[in-house]
């Protein structure tokens, strides 16, 4: 076993850390949370120039080779800096379905553009009944002479307002698993976006598809065969979210630990009080275990090993322990941490946001139970 990053991975981490320190200070994060578009094209271009969008794209499609572990390392830095924008939606939520289910032609068309940062994508999956199960999919795709017609409403579609392409999950048959994926040009008539106001200012949309006609070659993967693809994507996206949380935890520790060493009450640093120290010890334990759970799952995905159990254990664990870590951070900083201008709030909101996405801890424990043969 080896817990260390390789030297290339360290370089990736450090270069991301450096660039984002400059380009993504917390004022920028706050500004983007208010901003309608929610990201800067200038930063997007810089990230593309560094090849960040190409991390999951094979070399044959102008990518840098599929490496989920490297992507997780990069996403940890995104979590550290709360990087706003459509990176996750494009690379993870858009890229993975094409990579997993796409035909040769679809891959050749879309992956090089993703890798170059020239196309933004998103995934329209959840609906009113927000469950990661086939029964949650009511939006229909009716077969027509030339292709399909999409009808229905999606919720929690991230970054739909900037996406060039929406991967849409649709019901194509009445039997339970009759689910298919479609590559939808976001400019097609009949698509209507309504923005949702979110806790951390990430851009989420309701997307209504009203008789949206799409050509037959826009079916992604097998007709009625999308569910296994989606299950895999849900787990990978969950691990990718854990990467953001693990990185966020590093920043929280850097914020609050020096603070409790400096803040004095009753004539000594509050960090000298054992009640505070034990909170800190628990935080460090969460920080370390989160990281190892993440690395193990991401490593298994990268290596092409079975990863269902490890990914589910990772999300179930990191959801809760990252939440506790940030909560304890608030506790030991006291009133100051409750102030909007103190950065801790950014991490508090994003911890909860990430925990809500791609399966709750209960959902993932249920997957673990199944994997255990229960």
Closer Cβ to other proteins, 72 or 353, answer by number: 72
Closer Cβ to other proteins, 215 or 258, answer by number: 258
> Which of 274, 304, 340, 341 touches other proteins by CB under 8 A?
274
Burial (CB count <10 Å: 0-12, 13-18, 19+), residue 128: exposed
Closer Cβ to other proteins, 47 or 318, answer by number: 318
> Which of 79, 201, 221, 271 touches other proteins by CB under 8 A?
271
Spatial distance between the Cα atoms of 48 and 42, rounded to a whole number of angstroms: 10
Residue 266 makes contact with other proteins by CB under 8 A = no
Closer Cβ to other proteins, 6 or 135, answer by number: 6
Return the range that interacts with other proteins (CB under 8 A); candidates 80-88, 95-103, 156-164, 257-265: 257-265
Residue 8 makes contact with other proteins by CB under 8 A = no
Residue 360 makes contact with other proteins by CB under 8 A = no
Spatial contact of 252 and 325, defined as CB atoms under 8 Å apart:
yes
Spatial contact of 127 and 135, defined as CB atoms under 8 Å apart:
no
Residue 313 makes contact with other proteins by CB under 8 A = yes
Q: Hey, what are 329's tokens?
A: 């951070």
Sign of the torsion angle spanned by Cα atoms 147, 152, 156, 160: positive
Residue 184 makes contact with other proteins by CB under 8 A = no
Burial (CB count <10 Å: 0-12, 13-18, 19+), residue 95: buried
Quote the least distance from Cβ 72 to other proteins, whole Å: 10
Compute CA 343 distance to the chain's CA centroid, rounded to the nearest angstrom.
21
Report the 10 Å Cβ neighbour count for 41: 11
Return the range that interacts with other proteins (CB under 8 A); candidates 5-13, 27-35, 59-67, 178-186: 5-13
The β-bridge relationship of strands 191-196 and 179-185 is unpaired
Spatial contact of 258 and 138, defined as CB atoms under 8 Å apart:
no
Residue 292 makes contact with other proteins by CB under 8 A = yes
Residues that contact other proteins, how many (by CB under 8 A): 44
Residue 255 makes contact with other proteins by CB under 8 A = no
Closer Cβ to other proteins, 113 or 310, answer by number: 310
Closer Cβ to other proteins, 147 or 269, answer by number: 269
Residue 79 makes contact with other proteins by CB under 8 A = no
Of 76, 57, 25, 70, the C-alpha closest to 291 is 76
Residue 132 makes contact with other proteins by CB under 8 A = no
Determine the straight-line distance between the first and last CA of the chain, rounded to whole angstroms: 29
Burial (CB count <10 Å: 0-12, 13-18, 19+), residue 93: buried
Quote the least distance from Cβ 49 to other proteins, whole Å: 27
DSSP 215: E
- The residue ranges that bind other proteins (CB under 8 A) are 1-6, 9, 69, 257, 260-261, 268-269, 271-272, 274, 276-278, 280-282, 284-285, 288-289, 292-293, 295-296, 299-300, 310, 313, 316-317, 362, 365-366, 368-369, 372-374
């Amino acid at each position: 076993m080896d817990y260390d990053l390789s030297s290339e991975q360290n370089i990736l981490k450090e270069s991301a850390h450096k660039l984002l320190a400059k380009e993504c200070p917390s004022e920028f994060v706050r500004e983007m949370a208010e901003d309608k578009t929610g990201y800067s094209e200038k930063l997007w271009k810089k990230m593309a120039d560094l090849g960040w969008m190409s991390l999951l794209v094979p070399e044959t499609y102008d990518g840098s080779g599929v490496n989920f572990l490297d992507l997780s390392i990069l996403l940890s830095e995104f979590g550290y800096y709360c990087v706003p924008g459509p990176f996750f939606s494009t690379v993870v939520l858009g890229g993975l379905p094409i990579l997993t289910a796409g035909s040769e032609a679809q891959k050749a068309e879309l992956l090089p553009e993703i890798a170059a940062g020239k196309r933004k994508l998103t995934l329209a999956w959840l609906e009113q009944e927000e469950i990661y199960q086939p029964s949650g999919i009511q939006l229909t795709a009716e077969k027509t002479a030339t292709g399909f017609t999409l009808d229905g409403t999606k919720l929690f579609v991230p970054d739909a307002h900037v996406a060039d392409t929406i991967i849409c999950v649709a019901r194509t048959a009445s039997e339970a698993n009759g689910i298919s994926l479609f590559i939808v040009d976001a400019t097609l008539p009949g698509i209507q976006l309504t923005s949702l106001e979110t806790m951390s200012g990430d851009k989420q949309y309701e997307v209504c598809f009203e008789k949206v006609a799409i050509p037959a070659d826009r079916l992604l993967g097998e007709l009625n065969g999308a569910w296994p693809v989606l299950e895999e994507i849900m787990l990978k996206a969950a691990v990718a979210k854990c990467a953001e949380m693990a990185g966020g935890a590093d920043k929280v520790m850097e914020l609050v630990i020096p603070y409790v060493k400096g803040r004095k009450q009753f004539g000594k640093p509050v960090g000298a009080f054992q009640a505070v120290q034990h909170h800190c010890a628990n935080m460090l334990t969460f920080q370390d275990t989160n990281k190892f759970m993440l690395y193990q799952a991401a490593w298994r995905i990268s290596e092409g090993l079975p990863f269902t159990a490890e990914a589910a254990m990772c999300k179930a664990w990191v959801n809760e322990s990252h939440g506790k870590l940030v909560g304890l951070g608030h506790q030991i900083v006291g009133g100051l941490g409750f102030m909007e201008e103190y950065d801790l709030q950014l991490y508090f909101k994003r911890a909860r946001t990430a925990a809500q996405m791609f399966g709750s801890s209960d959902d993932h424990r249920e997957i673990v139970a199944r994997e255990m043969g229960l």
